[in-house]
Amino acid sequence: MNMSPQTILDTIGNTSLLQLRHVVPSDSARVFIKLESQNPTGSMKDRIALAMIEAPERDGRLKPGGAVVEYTGGSTGVSLALVCSVKGHPLHLVSSDAFSREKLDHMRLLGAKLTIVPSENGKQTEKLTKDMIHEAHRIADDMGAYITAQMENTDQLVAYTAMADEIWSQTGGRIDGFVGSVGTGASLRGISARLRELDPRIHCVGVEPAESAVLSGGPTGAHKIDGIGAGYVVPLWHERIADELEPVSTDEARAMAFRLAGEEGLFCGTSTGANVSAALRLAKRLGPEATVVTIMCDTGMKYLKTFAQSLD
């Protein structure tokens, strides 16, 4: 008998895996997408927010009612706001006007206090990322608060191990390639490590913005793919995580996000568009007998105003 959830946090995870039917060419591998939009805030980050709070609660780093601080491009902040609201932790987030207004509003509505670091022309850059991190650490030090520090937090990896186990179960172990975009590096690191434990032949591809392909050895630059491409090699990253790296431009990611909405009925953000763009390239190479899995990172409702402007 299924037990009813005790809180909204019990509904995190166990999301559906859906085969893409219309954007995938007939001569390519099957492409499946993990619908992380089914999580309570509509994002895969609900998984890691819960892990990053429960681990320090268990070992005493975070006391009952203790304050939490984080820097965020949006989704992690929204997810932390959800978790902290349920668990009774005051939350102070550092974000920027470079990220969608919908995400910033969502954080506030869930009870978080925000500090906004101004960007250059609304774009994410290495300087902006590091300015946000510096400000978050300053606030945490001043408050004596616990900082989750997602860029270097290994507590979150267990959440992605669990996600990999879901993917393995849902595909019946029939998976040849996995594609994931790189923000903090945690999702691809955790998922790829677990999938390779289950089958070392699985080919793992990391996705980064073409305008700032630093993991591939390119120069740092500005882009508009929310949640990925910090602009420098992030602390959680190491070269063994991915078998290869695939750059995807902001324009290509946005165009694919619109295709997914119009052809598959999947309303997603630009990081998902980047994931699917790269997954289709891998699917073409692997051929029709193979299976590729990627992630729908979040719902397009987090970008509704931004996307609507481009339709005018």
Q: Assign 168 to helix, strand or coil.
A: helix
Of 3.40.50.1100, 1.10.10.10, 3.30.450.40, 3.30.43.10, the CATH number of 8-43+157-311 is: 3.40.50.1100
Q: Spell out the domain ranges in the chain.
A: 8-43+157-311, 45-147
- Asked if the domains 8-43+157-311 and 45-147 are classified in one and the same CATH topology, the answer is yes
- Measured distance CA(34)–CA(167) in Å, rounded: 8
Is pLDDT above 60 for 204? yes
Phi-psi region of 247 (alpha: psi -120 to 50; beta: other; left: phi over 0): beta
pLDDT at 232 over 70: yes
pLDDT of residue 98: 87
Mean pLDDT of 290-296: 98
> Does residue 1 carry a pLDDT above 60?
no
pLDDT tens digits for range 8-19: 999 999 999 999
**C-alpha dihedral (208, 267, 290, 217), degrees to nearest 10:** 0
Q: What is the pLDDT of residues 240-263, one digit of tens each?
A: 999 999 999 999 999 999 999 999
Burial bucket for residue 161 (CB in 10 Å: 0-12, 13-18, 19+): middle
pLDDT in the model for residue 311: 67
Gap between the Cα atoms of 69 and 191, Å rounded: 26
CATH class of 45-147: alpha beta
| pLDDT number for residue 312 | 62
- pLDDT, tens digit, 9 for 90 and up, residues 261-280: 999 999 999 999 999 999 99
Indicate if the pLDDT at residue 144 is higher than 70: yes
